[in-house]
Structure 1
Amino acid sequence: MLILCCLLLIFATTLLQIYQSEKNYRTAAHEREEETLRRILDVAVRQVYEDIYHKTLEMGTRFIGRSDFAQAFAQAQAERQGSARLEAVLIDPFINGYVNGAFLSLEALKVYDTDWRALAIGRTASTMNIDAYRLDPGPSPVARQAMLRQGMDRLQALGGRWAGSRDAYYSLILPIGGLRLQGYLEVVINADMNLPELERLVEIPLSIHNLIKQRQIYDKSPAKEKLDHFQQIDYRIDSLRQRSLYEIRLYANVAEFDVRMRQQQTQSVLVSLLVSLTVLALVLWCLERLLVAPMRRLRSEIRGQTLDFTGEPVSTWGLLEFHDLAQGFNHLLRMAWQQQLVLEKRSITDELTQVPNRRALEQFLQAEKARAARCHDKLALLMVDIDFFKNYNDYYGHQAGDDCLREVAQLLQSALPRATDFVARYGGEEFIVVLPGTDQQGAVAVAERLLQQVREQRIAHAASEIGEYLSLSVGVGVCHSFEPGCIEQLKRHADKALYRAKHQGRDRVCVYHADDQPPA
């Protein structure tokens, strides 16, 4: 009887351990899935807003290029106050349509002078009573952030999310006048129609709630009687000022996973019972060898993935059931990892030119800074600008301008002599070339090669003010010491040298000197 009680106690303890291990495994798997889905959704949200940025940028750029806008804006500047003519031009897109109208919900257009004084506004009927769009009290939160920028940063577009009194908005600030800054255009978009694209990107049912106007704008949630089969994951999209604008709820189907877990748990219990009734020693050995050890290892590896998602598969040794569990979990990991890699690659590649973008540039510069400091090496940076590119766009059209940017990007890549050299699009018509282990003389030689490569292509540029073919201006900066802030200083040096190259007539290479003046 005592032996039987001991056997039952050992068996009960073993069953309890198996149950708890599988419960922890299931919990860890759900937590890992939730964390993975949050990361995927985070990348998808960035992708949606990046698409909004590019479509809004295209719409705003073409609007600024309209002749009637240029004339009305010039008149408003001359009068130093808003004009009915400029307001009529701003209202026109709401009446006659606008670029990317199928993808963007335009709410308002607002024009400022260089002192950020509002000149005129065009808007939809839904925004007529929104305080943020009256000419007083002034700019939107995104515009206020743009007011803080200095130097060449003022010539770049700036976008951001913000909360109005009645709705959530996305604003894009575009400079008017190119290098000769004359003012700013603010394009205000309602992203409600773009956010449902998230469901296609993550391939999971979801619902979207607008927290500002307290309204459900998209709902693909499962039926109420099926909600128990889904894991609900909440995610919020915030504004520039950290105010929540939207709440997104994902519905991940975990019913099949739970069924498999219950089936495997039942099979494990039966196997343990048969072995325990045969021999106590064999039971203990089998439980440790076939059940407890593999489960403990799986649990440890899955929890490790929860803390640091690397995409490394978990071990698949042990009983067939645990092997199937691990394979199923590994399949989920591979899918999530591959999708994350694709989205991350998109996030560091310029969509137009297919060369690395600014984010990839910053990562490369930080890595090269560490390498150069460790090896006591030099680091050179070339800031490349296409001469009179705005004139090129105005003369040949934006499609030709895009083709020109792509061709120049390919020429820059093909002209670099080493695989370690790096080229990235910095913004607009500007590119940056990073030359590891290169001194000033070598950097100038590479820059001259880039200019010659473009000259030999003889790309027609009838709107250029210095010749009939496309040309480049290049500023050269070289870093010899690597204290904190040296990378930003290196970019400023190259920018100042580029400014001097433009000031001296363009189509040339200039090296940074200490007496160079910053760009106006």
Structure 2
Amino acid sequence: MKKATILIVDDEISNIEIINAILEDRYEICFATSGTQAIEVMRELQPDLVLLDVLMPGMDGFDVCRRVKNDPDLVDIPIIFTTGLGDTADEMKGLSLGAIDYVTKPIQPAILKARVSNHIELKNLRDQLAELAVTDALTGLKNRRHLERTLSSEFARLGRSEEWLSVIMLDIDFFKQFNDTYGHPAGDRCIAMIAATLKRVVQRASDTTARYGGEEFACILPNMPPEEAELIAQEIRHQVHTLNIPHVRSQAQPYVTVSIGVASARCTQDLSPEMWVSQADLQLYRSKAAGRDRISTTEFSADAYRKATGTHG
């Protein structure tokens, strides 16, 4: 089991060495000697817990905590203040800023170990609950809520350098007829098999695959231009064919097929994340209208989007 990572933040190296000696046998330890460095390390490593000194030159512990809790990328990292102040008002200030606990100096090894252990366990439980909240129970894929959040964050990230972003939407063809013919348990197995196919095909760590709803799925493909996204879509379609799931009432093939829509664009300021889903969904509709079991693609811009949807501004 992977060790939890703890960031020790203190401008006194001797304090870091003391805490490290107490915790290093159970945790991965990293450290920072200033508030600015601490935030940089948090961004890079996303530690499981931060032991943060209150009194530091420049940006003190209170300032660090305030910035962390106002940053959506860091807000969930738990912070324990380490301080020699022993002042109730300071303790209340730290807790009101979002810290979860206080440990006073000089450090008592047994107390530090117990408090760190308790808070790591609580964080693990929170992480598990958070994962369940964004995971589809039937397929193990992410759910629509997670996909929409990821699309927004990827759009913001890729927009800094106007990189490509592609979105694939796909739908199981004539799925209602499949359920009516074979029953809902068979329908669930079919959905799970399609999901497993997506996991095999869409494999980059940066990609996100989700069950968008019912028999519909979506994939977010950062840094992927349209020609590469179309190849992914072709492989998905091919792999679904090779499953050879019987579907006697399909008007496309005697086995289960999918219709696919692909939308690609560079992340520019005149676009919005929702446009990718809208455009991919439009292409999916075109695939269905053209007979299903096919792929439709678009490379769009803000002007093309407004023309297609009849919107202005």
TM-score, L = length of structure 1 = 0.39
Distance across 2 between alignment mates of 1:305 and 1:363 = 29
2:273 paired with 1:487 = yes
Distance across 1 between alignment mates of 2:269 and 2:161 = 14
2:231 paired with 1:441 = no
Distance across 2 between alignment mates of 1:303 and 1:335 = 25
Q: 1:491 to 1:363 in 2, by over 3 A?
A: same
Give the aligned partner of residue 464 of structure 1. Answer: 250
Which residue identity does 1:390 align to in structure 2? Answer: K
Deviations 1:418-473 (A, max 9, x none): 33222111111111111111222111111111100111121111221221111010
CA RMSD of aligned residues (A): 2.9
Note the C-alpha offset of 1:509: 0.3
2:159 paired with 1:373 = yes
Aligned positions of 1:311-350 closer than 5 A: 315=103, 317-318=105-106, 320=108, 324-350=110-136
Q: 1:319 to 1:459 in 2, by over 3 A?
A: closer
Q: 1:302 to 1:339 in 2, by over 3 A?
A: farther
Aligned positions of 1:100-249 closer than 5 A: none
Aligned positions of 1:407-422 closer than 5 A: 407-422=193-208
Q: Highest Rg: 1 or 2? A: 1
Distance across 2 between alignment mates of 1:377 and 1:297 = 50
Give the aligned partner of residue 389 of structure 1. Answer: 175
Which residue identity does 2:183 align to in structure 1? Answer: G
Give the aligned partner of residue 146 of structure 2. Answer: 360
Give the aligned partner of residue 97 of structure 2. Answer: 307
Between 1 and 2, higher relative CO (CA 8 Å, sep ≥ 6) is seen in: 2
Indicate which of 477, 481, 497 corresponds to 2:263.
477
Kept in 1: contact 2:262–2:297 (CA 8 A): yes
Note the C-alpha offset of 1:375: 2.2
Kept in 1: contact 2:86–2:104 (CA 8 A): no
Kept in 2: contact 1:426–1:432 (CA 8 A): yes
2:240 paired with 1:454 = yes
Name structure 2 gaps, 5 residues minimum.
Answer: 1-82
Kept in 2: contact 1:387–1:471 (CA 8 A): yes
Note the C-alpha offset of 1:353: 0.6
Which residue identity does 2:106 align to in structure 1? Answer: G
Kept in 2: contact 1:383–1:494 (CA 8 A): yes
Note the C-alpha offset of 1:331: 4.3
Note the C-alpha offset of 1:383: 0.6
Distance across 1 between alignment mates of 2:135 and 2:142 = 4
Note the C-alpha offset of 1:417: 5.0
Distance across 1 between alignment mates of 2:262 and 2:223 = 14
Which residue identity does 1:399 align to in structure 2? Answer: P
Note the C-alpha offset of 1:317: 4.8
Distance across 2 between alignment mates of 1:468 and 1:315 = 67
TM-score, L = length of structure 2 = 0.63
Note the C-alpha offset of 1:326: 4.5
Distance across 2 between alignment mates of 1:301 and 1:401 = 56
Distance across 2 between alignment mates of 1:509 and 1:488 = 21
Q: 1:319 to 1:456 in 2, by over 3 A?
A: closer
Give the aligned partner of residue 432 of structure 1. Answer: 218
Kept in 2: contact 1:496–1:517 (CA 8 A): no
Kept in 2: contact 1:302–1:314 (CA 8 A): no
Note the C-alpha offset of 1:485: 5.6
SS in 2 for 1:461: coil
Kept in 1: contact 2:165–2:267 (CA 8 A): no
Give the aligned partner of residue 23 of structure 1. Answer: none
Note the C-alpha offset of 1:517: 7.8
